[in-house]
Amino acid sequence: MTPPTPSAAAPLELTDESVEKSTTSPSPKGSESRSPGRLAWNRFKRDRTGVISACIVIFFFAIALAAPLIAKVYGKDPYTTYASQRPELLNAFAYPAGPNGGMSSEFWFGIEPQLGRDVFTFLLYGIRTSLGIALAATLLTTLLGVVVGVTAGYLGGKTDYLVGRFIDILLSFPSTLFFIAFMPVIYGLFVAPDDNIPTWLRAAALIIVLSAFGWASIARLLRGQVLGLREREFVEAAKVTGASPQRIVFKELLPNLWTPIIIQSTLMLPAFVTAEAGLAFLGVGIIDPTPDWGVMIQRGAQFYTEDFTFMLFPGLAMVIFVLAFNLLGDSVRDALDPKSKR
Amino acid sequence: MSTTTPLLDVSGLTKHFPIKGGFPIRRTVGAVQAVDGLDFQVGEGESLGLVGESGCGKSTTGRLVTRLLEPTAGRISYRGQDITHASRTQLAPVRSEIQMIFQDPYASLNPRQTVGKIISGPMEINGINPTGGREARVRELLEIVGLNPEHYNRFPHEFSGGQRQRIGVARALALEPKLIVADEPVSALDVSIQAQVVNLLQKVQRELGIAFLFIAHDLAIVRHFSQRVAVMYLGKIVEIADRDELYGNPRHPYTRALLSAVPEATVDDVPRERIRLVGDVPSPINPPTGCRFRTRCWKATEKCATEAPPLVQAEGNKPGHLTACHYPETHEATVPAGRLAKDPGAAA
């Protein structure tokens, strides 16, 4: 007769507990809050692809940031032509003498054909340049897109109409052709035809041109979001209490727009990395002695039939980075916006 | 009530929404006459119910009174002060006295703000610093509306619909208003929750002496909540009266038809006859001439098509009972048999 007693008591206790829970609060923990951001972070942590991608992306940014430090420890720099001091590094056809593109304990990723620069540091600095430009372009694009999109959406009417048509024109523009045709014109505005174009000007021009064409899509997206949000009752509630337009935009609308903004910019950055590399490859972006991802691939394309290793490292690095960043963008979207799951 | 200046005085209030069309140059091609010449008053601490079917302009009226929309014509005055076209800065002193409770508790709270921020927001905007601090005041408000003050740091998604609506009420109360426009505050809630929220609003009205403009399409709730009731049809008030007078002695055919459609819970009663309105509500873009109800009215005559009936005290009405009809109903008046339908509930 002893066993039934605890089994009868157990469910009783259980029901008591559940009743107590449901009456006191919807969640078990007292006054602890679960903010939308916190929930998204919890969802993100459960997404293995996202976490791995994030690690890879962070790794790339870390090595880009620490490139000078790594180069110092490693003892080489991306500008010295090591082959001119030690001709034995290259063979008679100016290709690396050693196997696998001259990979050795001294030159980890081998040496460059013809000039004999160190591939490892060149790649490190190349990633640094490319990521720097892409990051700056992304930030500028996002800022421009948010300002224009939110303004157009919030003001509506004529402003919205004009901005909308302008975005239409911008999006129908063949931007790659424009870059190729107009980059020399932009340089010409600042530098006399015979002078060398300083690298900072090339970088700044790239950032500006990439942003000038990039903001339109994010502006259009946010405009649509704002159009939907500003009719929501919580915006009306803020208006009823006398909130100023600035307060409505910054306190009521913007916090609800972070999701599309973050998703768009995480998907935009890898696109800018490839675009920047593409322009460098075509010779209108960053050019040779400056280390850059696109420059490396362009150089590699000249030699790949003879020395595939030189092409392999920058190419592989870029594929890994862009893939990881895109997967990260997808994971971020899934975490922030769980309803949009594929 | 009528001897002193009313809290809110609305006269000839009109809102037409322009319809834009045409290509390539967009111009106004017509107007939705959402609200067309409303006159009503709300006294201090009084609750005026505004009923009517969807699309009749109830919500537009609420949004005009809170000045979320700009009136096309007419006059809104609050305590004798004209606020019809006041700008945001001019409105500032009145803002805190006229607040609003919204229909959809899922859309009316910013999902990215904590409950504490949502309720203290109005105080922050208006620079109100209650003794003991805003947080203490928010906790007090949460307690008034029957929520746990410890939920201060929670986000709206952690609450149910009824709880969210209580948060909305707390936000409206934060500024200690004199008038609350409640735009269908319970129609989005479960029936079991509706009563709780209505009782909360009633408690608030009684204990804090707040006047209400209570917009609803549920006649039973309005009867429970409002001392006076106005019935709207297609942008116009067709009848306005004290509660018991309106429900007991409806003079407008539309009011009578509406009341006959209210389901009754009694089973063994004599089967009640329901007045069936034929056809649809006409478009507010092109409303009928004269009386707007004439297209569905069983008493419509030539006169109704040419002459719009004014909202006046019909013969035999008590003071304050105004009806806009050329041929007011009486208790004995019969409705043509073709317009009557058996109560479907009773038939079953």
Of B258, B177, B246, residue with least CA distance to B213: B177
In a domain, A1, yes or no: no
The residue with greater pLDDT, B319 or A272, is A272
Chain A, residues 5-64, CB within 8 A of chain B, namely 24-27, 30-36
Residue entry with tokens 């989005």: B188
User: What tens digit of pLDDT does each residue of B152-171 get?
Assistant: 888 888 899 899 999 999 99
In angstroms, the CA B201 to CA B215 distance is 13
Which residues lie closer than 8 Å to A174 by C-beta, 6 or more apart?
none
Instruction: List the single residue in A25, A36, A241 with the smallest CB-CB distance to B155.
Output: A36
Mean pLDDT value of segment B319-330: 87
φ/ψ of residue A174, rounded to 5:
-75, 95
Mean pLDDT value of segment B244-253: 89
In angstroms, the CA B305 to CA B293 distance is 10
Instruction: List the single residue in A25, A234, A241 with the smallest CB-CB distance to B122.
Output: A241
Mean pLDDT value of segment B77-83: 89
> Using a CB-CB distance cutoff of 8 angstroms, which residues of chain A are in contact with residue B95?
240-242
How many residues are given for chain B?
348
In a domain, A201, yes or no: yes
Tokens of A293: 């991802």
Our CA angle for A320, A326, A330, nearest 5°, is 140
Mutate to test the interface with A, among B110, B152, B164 (most CBs of A within 10 A): B110
pLDDT bin (cut points 50, 70, 90) of residue B346 is very low
Mean pLDDT value of segment B180-197: 89
Residues of chain A with pLDDT under 70: 1-33, 339-342
> Residue B36: helix, strand or coil by DSSP?
strand
Contact assessment for residue B147 and residue B170, using Cβ atoms and an 8 Å cutoff: yes
**pLDDT reported for residue A191:** 81
In order of A307, B210, B219, the CA distances from B144 in angstroms are: 78, 14, 27
> Using a CB-CB distance cutoff of 8 angstroms, which residues of chain A are in contact with residue B109?
234
In angstroms, the CA A341 to CA A333 distance is 8
**pLDDT reported for residue B272:** 67
Residue entry with tokens 């008038």: B179
> Using a CB-CB distance cutoff of 8 angstroms, which residues of chain B are in contact with residue A36?
111-112, 155, 157
Q: Is B68 near chain A, with CB under 8 Å?
A: yes
How many residues are given for chain A?
342
Q: Which domain holds residue A243?
A: 38-340
Sign of the CA dihedral A41, A44, A46, A48? negative
CATH at residue A82: 1.10.3720.10
Of A252, A239, A244, A155, residue with least CA distance to B63: A239
In a domain, A123, yes or no: yes
In angstroms, the CA B21 to CA A243 distance is 33
In a domain, A104, yes or no: yes
Q: Is B98 near chain A, with CB under 8 Å?
A: yes
**pLDDT reported for residue A235:** 92
Q: Is B175 near chain A, with CB under 8 Å?
A: yes
In a domain, A28, yes or no: no
**pLDDT reported for residue A3:** 40
In angstroms, the CA B151 to CA B147 distance is 8
CA B37 to chain centre: 16
Contact assessment for residue B243 and residue B78, using Cβ atoms and an 8 Å cutoff: no
User: What tens digit of pLDDT does each residue of B93-136 get?
Assistant: 888 899 999 999 889 999 888 899 999 999 998 888 888 889 99
- Residue B48, strand partner residues: B213, B228
In angstroms, the CA A21 to CA B148 distance is 14
> Using a CB-CB distance cutoff of 8 angstroms, which residues of chain B are in contact with residue A43?
none
In angstroms, the CA B252 to CA A103 distance is 96
User: What tens digit of pLDDT does each residue of A2-46 get?
Assistant: 344 333 333 333 333 333 333 444 444 444 567 888 888 888 999
Of B228, B227, B241, B292, residue with least CA distance to B55: B292
Tokens of B120: 């203290």
Of B343, B196, B335, B195, residue with least CA distance to B264: B343
pLDDT bin (cut points 50, 70, 90) of residue B53 is confident
Mean pLDDT value of segment B175-198: 90
Residue in chain B lying closest to A239 (CA)? B68
Instruction: List the single residue in A25, A36, A241 with the smallest CB-CB distance to B148.
Output: A25
**pLDDT reported for residue A234:** 92
**pLDDT reported for residue A337:** 76
Beta pairing, strands B47-51 & B228-233 = parallel
Mean pLDDT value of segment B5-18: 90
**pLDDT reported for residue A21:** 37
Contact assessment for residue A308 and residue A297, using Cβ atoms and an 8 Å cutoff: no
Tokens of B162: 């009824």
DSSP A228-268: HHTTSHHHHHHHHTT--HHHIIIIIIHHHHHHHHHHHHHHH
In a domain, A30, yes or no: no
Domain count for chain A: 1
Q: Is B113 near chain A, with CB under 8 Å?
A: yes
**pLDDT reported for residue A5:** 37
pLDDT > 70 fraction of chain B, expressed in percent and rounded: 93
Using the predicted structure, report yes or no on whether residue B268 has a pLDDT greater than 70.
no
In a domain, A15, yes or no: no
> Using a CB-CB distance cutoff of 8 angstroms, which residues of chain B are in contact with residue A164?
none
